[in-house]
């Protein structure tokens, strides 16, 4: 069994929360709010971790892909948080 760095687990949770947000967008305001809180919390966790430069590039790529895939929904708070995280990671 391979062990994944903790930041990879948090990134997976962040991407999942983004999916939850986008799936509920325009349909369920409560689910959107819960998903936004999760996105903010996971982004905060990633900010304080030491992430190697190569891994940072991979994280930025995954976040950008997820964001671009859903850009048609505009720029709700959830998306702003992700954009801010990308900038802070050096993207």
- The set of long-range contacts for 58-63, using a CB threshold of 8 Å and a minimum separation of 24, is 59/7, 59/11, 59/89, 60/86, 60/89, 60/90, 60/91, 62/11, 62/15, 63/14, 63/15, 63/91
Q: Is the pLDDT of residue 13 over 90?
A: yes
pLDDT in tens, 34-62: 998 999 999 999 999 988 888 999 999 99
Mean pLDDT of 3-18: 88
Mean pLDDT of 49-78: 80
Task: Note the pTM of the prediction, 2 decimals.
Answer: 0.81
| Domain coordinates in residue numbering, the chain | 6-88
């Amino acid at each position: 069994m391979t062990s994944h760095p903790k930041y990879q687990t948090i990134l997976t949770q962040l991407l999942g929360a983004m999916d939850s947000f986008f799936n509920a967008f325009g349909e369920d305001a409560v689910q959107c709010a819960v998903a936004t809180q999760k996105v903010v919390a996971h982004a905060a966790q990633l900010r304080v971790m030491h992430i190697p430069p190569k891994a940072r590039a991979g994280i930025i790529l995954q976040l950008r892909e997820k964001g671009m895939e859903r850009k048609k929904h505009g720029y709700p708070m959830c998306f702003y948080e992700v954009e801010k995280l990308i900038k802070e990671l050096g993207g």
